[in-house]
Structure 1
């Protein structure tokens, strides 16, 4: 079934993204990915069990999910005064950044310990060089894939809802009581004859 395949792809894409957001301690995306996985499962259940309300919830959430991913793209491309160096994605709880910053394709990660006097021995910073693709573009690619899959899922969900609505309108609730049989008089009449009373025996 096409709807099951679309939902499965959405769930796997969200799960893959959830793993890397966990590795980077990106709490805002982690929360969003978790809700996405739950709602996709709910939409899948609604499709299989013919529950239009669940699919409506899925379509509403999909619109919000697309909006969230557009915001992430703007965040990492620093559109409209946004800065990818802020702690917005971690709710300002920590200073963690995207996991792809240090572990992207071709990235060479080095921990550098400064030798200046007066600095604690355990203080260090990370130097990353040689990345084939910068981390912000990898995050943008992830969000773009989510938007594409979500739009496909949204269109299919609207199609499924329309099918359910058509089936409800044409459903025969009383076994044969459609428009034709309701308006037409019955063709065969059953004549009722009075029953003679049975005499009582003394």
Structure 2
């Protein structure tokens, strides 16, 4: 990105990522893990400056480009998530949402998620509020569920179960964020600005 002088810089990078993903999926390698490592690499160039070959990438220039790329990625992510959930909502049937066969399982999974989260927060001595409530299942859960081959799928782990877990964790997150009071930034007065 630091070498490209043309005004179109980011589309070739996105196409390169898609190409990497397609090649790795062809060879049955964990494509998303490699893309994660690529993201970690370009997002943490400052920590890698001590290596000589990083200097050839011109990290000062590249950091500016990466910041622009982050803004573009954030907007694209929002758009893709919105469209994906619109499609997902359109495909949901009321019978799947109110399926009583999977309701007990979905409640158990949701409780398990939050118990596990509370345990880790206590273990690492982190504040429970609001971190405990922010544990939604969403886009990745749907994508992983849809990628399960039919011959490996379980009868109980069906679309109804996934929908119920996603919606219940979403509502719990909403409750936690509403309940959490917004902390107002404290204004520190300078003694020299005070007038009597």
The TM-score, its normalising length taken from structure 2, stands at 0.28
> Rg larger in 1 or in 2?
1
Structure with the larger RCO, 1 or 2 (CA within 8 Å, 6+ apart): 1
Higher helix share: 2
